[in-house]
Amino acid sequence: MVSSVVMAPRYRLLREVGRGTYGVVYEAVARRSGTKVAVKKLRCDAPENIELALQEFWALTSLEKRHQNVVHLEECVLQKNGMAQKMSHGNKRSKQYLRLVSYVKEPCYLWFVMEFCEGGDLNQFILSRRPDSQTNNSFMLQLTSAVAFLHENNIVHRDLKPDNILISEKSGTPVLKVADFGLSKVCAGLGDTTVGIEGEDKNRNVNVNKFWLSSACGSDFFMAPEVWEGHYTAKADIFALGIIIWAMLERITFIDAESKRELLGTYVRQGADIVPLGEALLENPKMVLNIPQKRRSCMSKGMRKLLQDMLAVNPQDRPSALELQARMDQVMCAT
C-alpha cells in the first residue's frame, strides 16, 4: 500500500480510528520516540477536498503559540507521485501549495500528523459516563478558553460540534482539544472595518466579529440562524458553543440519520420532526428558548442567562469570545 510506505520511515500506522467523506484517521506511533500520534490522510483529488485540506493546514500553522485546548499539528506531509514532501509552516506560500495540489494528474494526499487523543470525542466521553458537574464545569471553561484563543488569533472555526472536540487523558484528567479545522477561516482585513478582506497574511488588528463570511457551512444542528442565510461573523461560533454546552449540561441528544449514532445537540420539536435550533429561530425569531428544558435542573440563573445570550437570534446580542470567557469564569466562581 503506497500510503503506508510513505509514512513508514517516521510513523507506523496501528489502526484506523475514524473515517469521513474526505479522509481517514489512523492511530500511529513515531518510530524514534514511540509517541502515539493521530495521522489524518486527506485525498486531494477534487477542489473541495483541496480547500478543506488547505484550510486546516493554514489555520493550524497560522498559530504562533500553542493552546492546551486546541489540537497541535506536529507536521503535514504532501504525498505526490510516490514522493513525500513536508509542508512548511506559515501561510506565505499558500498559492504555491494550491497550485501544487490542484493541477496534478496523479492522486495526491495530505497527511496531518497530530497529537493523539485517546479519550475519543465529546459525544463518546459524556454519554458513556454518569453526569458529573465537576467535569461539565471544567469542560465549559476549557471550551470558552479555546474559542477565545482562536478568535484572538483571527480563526473562525465554523464547525464546532461534539464530534470535533477530542479528549486527551494523558495528564490523568480529561483535557479538551478543539480539532478539525477543514471549514475554518483565517481572517485578515483592515482593523475595525465592517467588511473583511481575505488574504494570506495575518493582521493582528482584525476584529473577527466584524469580518463577514458568506459560505453557509457547518453541521445543521450547530449552525446559527445567520449562517443559514449565508451572512455571518465569528459570533456563529458562540452560537454553536451555546448549543454544545446546553446539550452537555442537560444531556440532550438526537439520533443522527446517517450514522444512527446518539449525538449531543439541542433542537426544536415540530410535530414528529426535530428541527435545528438555528433554523427554527430563523423561521421564528421571537421564539422563547426553554432553558433549562428539564424541570429538575440544577442549572444556575447565571448559566441560564449566559446560554440565552449565547443563543440570541441577533448575533450582536451575543457575547464575544473574550467576553464569554470572562462571564463563564464569573458563573463558575458563583457556583
CA separation for the pair 247, 260 (Å, rounded): 18
CA separation for the pair 238, 181 (Å, rounded): 16
Ramachandran category for residue 266: left, alpha or beta (phi over 0 → left; psi -120 to 50 → alpha): beta
Q: Are residues 317 and 173 in the same domain?
A: yes
Q: Are 167 and 60 in contact, with CB atoms under 8 Å apart?
A: no
Q: Are residues 147 and 61 in the same domain?
A: no
Q: Are residues 223 and 321 in the same domain?
A: yes
CATH code, domain with 138: 1.10.510.10
Q: What are phi and psi of 14, to 5 degrees?
A: -95, -50
Angle, alpha carbons 296-166-280 (nearest 5°): 50
- Give pTM, 2 decimals: 0.89
Q: Are residues 92 and 18 in the same domain?
A: yes
Q: Are residues 176 and 308 in the same domain?
A: yes
Question: Element (H or E) spanning 61, and its range?
Answer: helix 47-62
Q: What are phi and psi of 332, to 5 degrees?
A: -65, -40
137 closest CA partner among 239, 305, 249: 249
Hunting for cell 433549562 — which residue is that? Answer: 292
The domain boundary residue, chosen from 60, 87, 115? 115
Q: Are residues 44 and 127 in the same domain?
A: no
The domain boundary residue, chosen from 115, 142, 157? 115
CA separation for the pair 180, 258 (Å, rounded): 20
- Tens-binned pLDDT, residue by residue, of the chain (335 aa): 334 445 556 889 999 998 877 789 999 999 989 999 999 998 887 777 888 888 898 899 889 899 999 999 999 988 877 777 888 765 445 554 655 555 555 678 889 999 999 999 999 999 999 999 999 999 999 999 999 999 999 999 999 999 999 999 988 899 999 999 999 999 975 343 334 434 444 445 689 999 999 988 999 999 999 999 999 999 999 999 999 999 999 999 999 888 889 999 999 999 889 999 999 999 999 999 999 988 888 899 999 999 999 999 999 999 999 999 999 999 999 87
Based on the structure, what is the number of domains in the chain?
2
CA separation for the pair 262, 279 (Å, rounded): 21
CA separation for the pair 286, 313 (Å, rounded): 8
Q: Are residues 289 and 329 in the same domain?
A: yes
CA separation for the pair 258, 247 (Å, rounded): 20
Q: Where are the alpha helices (DSSP H) in 71-214?
A: 94-102, 122-127, 133-152
Q: Are 324 and 241 in contact, with CB atoms under 8 Å apart?
A: yes
Q: Are residues 139 and 239 in the same domain?
A: yes
Q: Are residues 64 and 98 in the same domain?
A: yes
Those residues with Cβ within 8 angstroms of residue 127's Cβ, 6 or more apart along the chain or in another chain = 251, 253, 262, 264
Catalytic residue numbers read: 159
The domain boundary residue, chosen from 69, 90, 115? 115
Q: Are residues 54 and 93 in the same domain?
A: yes
Q: Are residues 254 and 311 in the same domain?
A: yes
Q: CB count, 10 Å around CB of 81?
A: 9
Which grid cell sits at 245? 454546552
CATH code, domain with 85: 3.30.200.20
Q: Are residues 242 and 148 in the same domain?
A: yes
92 annotated binding-site participant: no
CA separation for the pair 199, 274 (Å, rounded): 39
> In which domain, by residue range, is 69 found?
2-115
